[in-house]
Amino acid sequence: MELSEYEPIPLDPLPRLSEEDLRTASQSYLDFIRRRRTVRDFSDEVVEREVIEACVLAAGSAPSGANHQPWHFVCISDPVTKRAIRQAAEAEEEAFYSGKAGEVWLNDLKKIGTDASKPFLETAPWLIAIFAERYGINQEGEHVKHYYVPESVGIATGFLIGALHHLGLVTLTHTPNPMKFLNRILGRPQRERPYVLLVVGHPADNASVPRAAITKKPLSEIATFV
């Protein structure tokens, strides 16, 4: 239902925590989210569709410019489609790792051990292609302007990654450049721009992560309090 004018409703707030409980809860969340890892070694173990649906709905609850919700999530479990995506992605990655990225970028990537081979695109039970809608289409077929599209889709993607981590699932944010092949393979309109391809599933029994990737900047380097 589209609203044409401002219509306030009462806030339904979460229970208010005491100062002590706030400190405890904030530290507990920090400890939990610090365990999130970007993973490239996936199990082929099944993850039920309803689990993915709930996580996508959580992502769809994210704030967005004028509440236009300028995103679309294509959730892929079909093996044929996953193979087509892998083949197209690896073609772009071959060009990238063959020199298109430049020496500095490639040297940085050596620290996390990536290359043009992307078997996880077929192994993982789910791929979620996240698209940013440049503009919407109303019931009359007219273009509807969206606001703060990259910011809005970025927030929703963060919500999605957080929801999946909450369930003990692992993810990989994959961004082959360019990603226009996703529009073609998934039949999405040109008004939607591929934002990220999220790989989702359980980690393989032998999964590992690069030591360099788990080193995060301290608070003093990422925040200023005034």
In this predicted structure, the answer to whether residue 99 has a pLDDT above a threshold of 80 is no
Task: Tell me the torsion sign for CA atoms 117, 45, 160, 84.
Answer: positive
How confident is the model over 7-35, as a mean pLDDT?
96
How confident is the model over 3-25, as a mean pLDDT?
93
Helix 49-59 × helix 149-166 angle, to 10°: 140
| Residue position matching structure tokens 């529009």 | 183
How confident is the model over 95-122, as a mean pLDDT?
85
Residue 7 corresponds to which amino acid? Answer: E
Q: Which of 18, 15, 22, 34 is nearest to 215 (CA)?
A: 34
In this predicted structure, the answer to whether residue 1 has a pLDDT above a threshold of 70 is no
Outline where DSSP puts E strands in the chain.
71-76, 126-133, 135-137, 143-145, 170-174, 192-201
Query: Residue 3: pLDDT band by 50, 70, 90 thresholds?
Result: low
Q: Could you give the CA distance from residue 56 to residue 213 in angstroms, rounded to a whole number?
A: 26
| Residue position matching structure tokens 């003990």 | 168
Q: Could you give the CA distance from residue 104 to residue 187 in angstroms, rounded to a whole number?
A: 35
**The pLDDT of residue 211:** 84
Q: Which residue has the higher pLDDT, 158 or 1?
A: 158
Q: What is the pLDDT of residues 212-221, one digit of tens each?
A: 778 899 999 9
Exposed e or buried b per residue across 183-210, where buried means at least 16 C-beta atoms within 10 angstroms of its C-beta: bebbebeebbbbbbbbbbbbbbeeeebe
Asked if CATH classification 3.40.50.10860 holds for the domain at 37-206, the reply, yes or no, is no
Q: What is the pLDDT of residues 142-180, one digit of tens each?
A: 999 999 999 999 999 999 999 999 999 999 999 988 999
How confident is the model over 97-122, as a mean pLDDT?
85
In this predicted structure, the answer to whether residue 45 has a pLDDT above a threshold of 90 is yes
